[in-house]
Structure 1
Amino acid sequence: MKYSGAEMKIVVMACLFFPWFASAAQALSPESTAALNFNKCYISQIMSGKEPLSDYTALKPYVTRETISKLKAMDKLDPNEYDVPDIDMFIKAQGYQNDWKNVAVVGSDYDAACIQVYIAYGEKKDHIVIDCMVKEDNTWKLQSVAARDFN
């Protein structure tokens, strides 16, 4: 098939704009965007040597009031008396890999309690958590996190 000059320009323009249209079609939902923003911010804080789990002011824009209240109560528990988790509540791991700065949404699911957003860490996306997102004061916030895989 032979194209005229004008037709060739249309084909070239379509090829140039197709990636833009494809990415626009794959735009994240508001709850997925909120989960992604939280996880990127959270892991960057951990990687820079900070302890964001107990920085309640920094968590407030991303995490529900109820969850922050439960985190505060858990912080007051004596680990010698109570079974306090030894993993980070938001990344569901004791540590992190250097490539975890790569954070991506890999899926979502809806249920009666919340919208579950699947967040993958690392270039291979081999560490995945499930963020339970709910609306609080018209803003999507994190209510809880579950590990996708259990050891």
Structure 2
Amino acid sequence: MAWNKSQAVSSARMRAYAESQKRCAHYVPLCCSLAFCFMTFSISTFSAEAPDPYRREPANPYGAPGKAALEFNRWYLQQYAENKNPLTHHEIERYVTADTLKKMRKLDARTEEYMRRTGDLPEFAYETDYFTKTQDISPDWPTHVSIVGADYDPACANVYVAFGKDKRFILADCMVEEQNVWKVQSVTQIEGGAWRY
């Protein structure tokens, strides 16, 4: 049964007493607007955050940036574990901003050119992996990635990603929106020291 606005207003007028001081005309539309806003908010909130009973994980409390960071790190660590170079896959473009990828690929090209000419690793080359801040990864990292926090500043959404069963190695992924998709812009190590497996 559809709600009939005219009937609701008519019913409110009929039931209004003299003491209402003719304020019904003011409050009825306001209450209707508030009810509509609450219903819209509830539907959007619960549809986005409601846990799926068939999933093995709880709903992500860190929103879209947290979900994107989790997906990226799981994918990236799996590539790393399989000795694949993620930078050569087009799939990385789903997870990392175009500007960051451009800079990384340019640096890789410079490094390869320098090594081809000299046979040595240049001083400007990374000593550790850019996205893990490590030289190697622990075998349990690809299957144990979790989001342990997030905060927001004017530059980005910082999503804190923990690796391993013990969650002692933590990075902050600076996530930004690029064409309505949350992507990694930069990575900072928070805890865990220099990891060398």
Normalised to the residue count of structure 1, the TM-score between the two structures is: 0.78
CA offset at residue 72 of structure 1? 1.1
Using the alignment, how far apart are the partners of 2:137 and 2:146 within structure 1?
Answer: 15
Q: Which residue of 1 aligns with 2:64?
A: 30
Q: Which residue of 2 aligns with 1:104?
A: 146
Unaligned runs of at least 5 residues, structure 2: 1-52, 116-120
Secondary structure, in 3 states, of the residue corresponding to 2:165?
coil
CA RMSD between the two structures: 1.7
Greater radius of gyration (CA)? 2
CA shift in 2, pair 1:27/1:81, >3 Å: closer
Query: Does the 8 A contact of 1:32 with 1:117 survive in 2?
Result: yes
- Higher relative contact order at CA 8 Å, sep ≥6: structure 1 or structure 2? 1
Secondary structure, in 3 states, of the residue corresponding to 1:30?
helix
Alignment-mate amino acid for residue 161 of structure 2: I
Matches within 5 A, 1:111-130: 111-130=153-172
Higher helix share: 2
CA offset at residue 56 of structure 1? 4.7
CA offset at residue 57 of structure 1? 1.1
Percent identity (aligned): 37
1:132 corresponds, among 174, 180, 189, to 174
Q: Which residue of 2 aligns with 1:62?
A: 95
1:40 corresponds, among 67, 74, 77, to 74
Secondary structure, in 3 states, of the residue corresponding to 2:154?
coil
Using the alignment, how far apart are the partners of 1:148 and 1:27 within structure 2?
Answer: 20
Normalised to the residue count of structure 2, the TM-score between the two structures is: 0.60
Alignment-mate amino acid for residue 91 of structure 1: T
Using the alignment, how far apart are the partners of 1:27 and 1:119 within structure 2?
Answer: 13
CA shift in 2, pair 1:73/1:109, >3 Å: same
Matches within 5 A, 1:54-93: 54-77=87-110, 78=114, 80-93=121-134
- Aligned residue pair count: 128
CA offset at residue 85 of structure 1? 1.2
Task: Output one character per residue of 1:81-107: Cα deviation in whole Å (capped at 9) or x when no partner.
Answer: 442111000011000001102000000
Unaligned runs of at least 5 residues, structure 1: 1-19
